[in-house]
Chains A and B, each alone.
Chain A
Amino acid sequence: MLGSGIIKGLAETGRNFVGSYFDPERMTTVEYPEQRLAPKENTRQFPFLVFDGEAALAGLRCVACQICEKECPPQCIYIEKSREKKPDHLGKPQFHPAIFDIDISVCMSCQICVEVCPFDAIKMDTEFELSTSDRFGGLLMHKDLLARPNSHFLKVHPTDAGVIDARRAEERARLEAKARLDSEAKAKEAPPAA
């Protein structure tokens, strides 16, 4: 009959209305600044540069290979290589970035820079409360602002960082084992001096 649908609908919304006062299960709202959802591991906002050790700029993993700069779709990364090399965590001499800038007003959080980096040097941050009262300033992030310790990486993406840390430790161990073998072989080769 005409009107029965309306009555049914009114009953449904009425039930929701009353139910919302008595049944907290129904409510999906999270009142944001006071209440928060648990952070999700796979969220991504803007990239950061990982460093090892204590000193931020000295410990950057980035070797200024510029792959990410070339791959970044909106071209928001700008890198300038250093002139001199310094040893990386495996002791190999490598360049490091003299300038590493990301324009986060252009960055579209696509994570491509992270995917292409062969040195696990750039990763996505989960920080999203980035609003400021300054409209134009602070959008070009220099490397000192981009640098985050590995412990931060471990905190925001534990699974990912764990795998990478294990691999790096393994690489180092293999290198040390090789060095030990080498030196032992060298020791064997050279006859004990008479």
Chain B
Amino acid sequence: MFQAIDQIFVNLLRGFLGHLPEPIRPWAGLVISLGAILGTFGLLFGLTTVCERKAIARMQNRLGPNRVGPYGFLQFIADGIKSLTKEDIVPRSADKVVHFIAPLALLVPVVLTYLVLPFGRNMVVLDLDAGLLFYFAAGASTELAVFMAGWSSRNKYSLLGAMRAIAQMLSYELPFILSTIGVVMVTGSLSTVRIVEAQGPGDGWLAHWNVFTPWGFAAFFLFLIAAFAEANRSPFDLPEGESEIVAGYFLEYSGFKFALFFMAEYLGMFSSSALAVTLFLGGWTAPVSFLGFVPSWLWFFLKLGVLMALFIWVRGTTPRLRMDQLMDFAWKFMLPLALFLIPVVVLWDRVGRGWVGWVLCGPIVAAAYVWLGRALVGRRRIQLRTYRYASG
């Protein structure tokens, strides 16, 4: 029974493919899975935008959208229709072709990253041996699209935004990838499916999620912070800082192309959250074995929802960083810490991954955190600013 619910989507797909002639089955499977992913996450995108607006409104003691549909939850449909029917303006001096391709070039790699994410038991489109590598390769090519958008608009604000975006995404790509190395080391595989299976409860009753280890805990937060920056989310939303550069690289986009950018940003956020779930929060596995009857995909989307709530919460809380703070944080704090975690993982593995590991590795990670944090912000002294001409 539980088995049937757990595997319902897998069996549906297999049953449907059975009716098709043999040679086109793999292709049909791919297309249907992609359609399902796009549908699910497209809907999730719409709902998330509404939830985000409502939640942030509540954090500011406002009401948020509450007019369209029950409690305003259909607002995203109204917004979608609006952006579809808006005029699509291309600046006269823009590079028309690149300007047109950029939103697609952003969306396609983001969608590709979904192919290697396991959404549930047996629910992965491509179980690649180097799935994680594929994810990073596809994900990193979004930077090109961002620069295409900024460059082709022929607008100085767009270009500045694109340059900021490139600098930021490249800088945070390093901790983003380095923080996952520990997971690959303890699992001994780059396959996302294998990584999730290794975190399951196994014979015991408690799951071995990577976040429940001293290095995994630190790496999880490093990964999450880098994911914030990769998705250009507050507090790392410099590329689109309204008060400085209007809207950054998608300034010259309107109508549906703007909606595509918006969607790509959210899909990127979902996919990096989904990867965080896969690598550190045990993917679709239940936290304790007696909760194993809950369908695996439900676990996955629950964890994804928790991470999205965190994304929204942080967005409602933090102000935007300054460019030098952003770079300092990536290169002076996150990168050293991510590198430092690699020998810690080795130590954790050598002492047997148990309570001895906690006693040894826990204080080491904490000390590294405190020390690097102090090096980053501790020495800064705030003094009264003096002006040469404006004082007195």
- Interchain CB contact (< 8 A) of A29 among B59, B62, B374, B376: B62
Stretch at the interface among A19-27, A55-63, A83-91, A165-173: A19-27
B61:A2 contact, CB within 8 angstroms: no
Give the chain B neighbours of A1 by CB distance below 8 A. Answer: 370, 373-374
Q: Is B43 an interface residue, CB under 8 A from the partner? A: no
- Which residues of B24-74 are within 8 A (CB) of A? 55, 58-63
Q: Which residue of B lies closest to A16 (CB)?
A: B59
* B61 A3 Cβ-Cβ under 8 A: no
The complex places the Cα of A29 from the Cα of B58 at a distance, in Å, of 11
0/1 string, B121-144, CB within 8 A of A gives 1: 000000000000000000000000
The B contact surface, by secondary structure, is helix
Interface size on A, residues (CB 8 A): 19
Distance (whole angstroms) from the CB of B74 to the closest CB of chain A? 18
Q: Which residue of B lies closest to A2 (CB)?
A: B373
A31 at the interface (CB under 8 A from B): yes
User: A16 contacts which chain B residues (CB < 8 A)?
Assistant: 58-61
A30 smallest CB distance to B (angstroms) = 10
Select the stretch in B84-92, B145-153, B310-318, B342-350 that faces chain A. Answer: B310-318
Residues of A near B60 (CB, < 8 A) are 16
Residues of A contacting B: mostly = helix
A17 vs chain B, min Cβ distance (A): 5
Q: Which residue of A lies closest to B235 (CB)?
A: A6
Question: How many angstroms between the C-alpha atoms of A20 and B62 in the bound complex?
Answer: 8
Between B58, B373, B374, the greatest number of chain A beta carbons within 10 A of the residue's beta carbon is seen for B58
How distant is the Cα of A87 from the Cα of B252 in the complex, in angstroms? 65
By beta carbon, the residue of chain A nearest B59 is: A13
- Say yes or no: A13 contacts B63, CB within 8 Å: no
Contact B333 A2 (CB under 8 A): yes
Residue of A nearest to B62 (CB): A29
**Cβ of B377 and Cβ of A2 under 8 Å apart?**
yes
CB distance from B235 to the nearest CB of A (A): 9
Query: Which residues of B from 297 to 332 have beta carbons under 8 Å from A?
Result: 313-314, 316-318
Q: Chain A, 35-71, contact with B by CB distance < 8 Å: what is the 0/1 string? A: 0000000000000000000000000000000000000
Task: Name the distance in Å between B223's Cβ and chain A's nearest Cβ.
Answer: 15
CB distance from A24 to the nearest CB of B (A): 10
Partner of B376, one of A2, A10, A28, A31: A2
- Given A2-B377, A27-B63, A28-B62, 18 extra CB contacts under 8 A: A1-B374, A2-B369, A2-B372, A2-B373, A2-B376, A3-B373, A6-B318, A9-B317, A9-B318, A10-B317, A13-B59, A13-B317, A14-B59, A16-B61, A17-B313, A28-B61, A29-B62, A29-B63
**Could you tell me which B residues sit within 8 Å of A by CB distance?**
55, 58-63, 313-314, 316-318, 333, 369-370, 372-374, 376-377
**18 A–B pairs (Cβ distance < 8 Å), ordered by A:** A1-B370, A1-B373, A2-B333, A2-B376, A6-B317, A9-B318, A10-B313, A10-B317, A12-B317, A13-B316, A16-B60, A16-B61, A17-B313, A17-B316, A19-B61, A26-B61, A27-B61, A31-B63
